[in-house]
């Protein structure tokens, strides 16, 4: 899909679902029209090149309910970008005397699918990731909260610092959790 075609889609004023494949997340957030970004509810990114604008683009989609990121070719530079996204998804601010997430307030589903990793450490899968998920699950206000997490990591020689027990314990609080970790084809 060319950049021109992507811009045409992005400038639609009634867009609810957007699936981008093999694109670059480089559009400046100031160039996106609010009418489109406010109506967007589901964003699926498949093999999109991630850069420093990524979190800023997500930030201007306040109505986003579902965010799915699928990488079939992981680049180590994506790690810090995803770490930044996780940190920003965890940020809260005081609004009308209650804490609310500062970014995509109504996010209910997060999917992260990393396929074909090759001898790398996935830096964003750590305690901060678990804390972000927990904070979005344990909402005090009556704003919709996170209900589903899909996380799959597959490949050879990869590692992470994720506390799977802490993540699994969130199922007791109502999180629908789908984990699929495979190292050299063997399910962990």
3-187 under CATH 3.80.10, yes or no: yes
If you search the block for the tokens 């799915």, which residue do you land on? 68
What ranges do the domains of the chain cover? Answer: 3-187
pLDDT, one tens digit per residue, over 38-89 is 778 999 999 988 988 888 889 888 889 999 999 999 999 999 999 999 999 9
Pairing of β 98-101 and β 92-95 = antiparallel
First vs last C-alpha separation in the chain = 36
- pTM here? 0.84
Q: What are phi and psi of 155, to 5 degrees?
A: 150, -155
Of 54, 48, 53, the C-alpha closest to 73 is: 48
Contact between residue 40 and residue 16 where contact means Cβ atoms under 8 Å apart: yes
**pLDDT per residue as tens digits for the range 99-141:** 888 899 899 999 999 999 999 999 999 999 999 999 999 876 6
Structure tokens at 138: 């344990």
């Amino acid at each position: 899909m060319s950049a021109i075609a992507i811009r045409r889609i992005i400038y639609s004023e009634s867009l609810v679902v957007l699936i981008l494949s093999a694109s670059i997340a480089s559009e400046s957030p100031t160039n996106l029209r609010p009418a489109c970004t406010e109506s967007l509810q589901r964003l699926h990114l498949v093999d999109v090149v991630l850069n420093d604008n990524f979190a800023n683009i997500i930030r201007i989609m306040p109505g986003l309910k579902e965010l799915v990121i699928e990488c079939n070719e992981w680049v180590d530079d994506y790690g810090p970008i995803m770490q930044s996204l996780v940190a920003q998804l965890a940020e809260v601010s005081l609004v009308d005397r209650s804490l609310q997430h500062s970014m995509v307030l109504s996010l209910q589903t997060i999917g992260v699918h990393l396929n074909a990793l090759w001898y790398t450490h996935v830096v964003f899968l750590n305690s901060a990731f678990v804390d972000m998920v927990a904070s979005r699950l344990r909402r005090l206000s009556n704003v919709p909260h996170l209900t589903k997490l899909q996380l799959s990591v597959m490949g050879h020689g990869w590692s992470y610092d994720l506390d799977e027990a802490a993540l699994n314990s969130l199922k007791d609080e109502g999180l629908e959790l789908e984990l699929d970790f495979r190292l050299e084809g063997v399910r962990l």
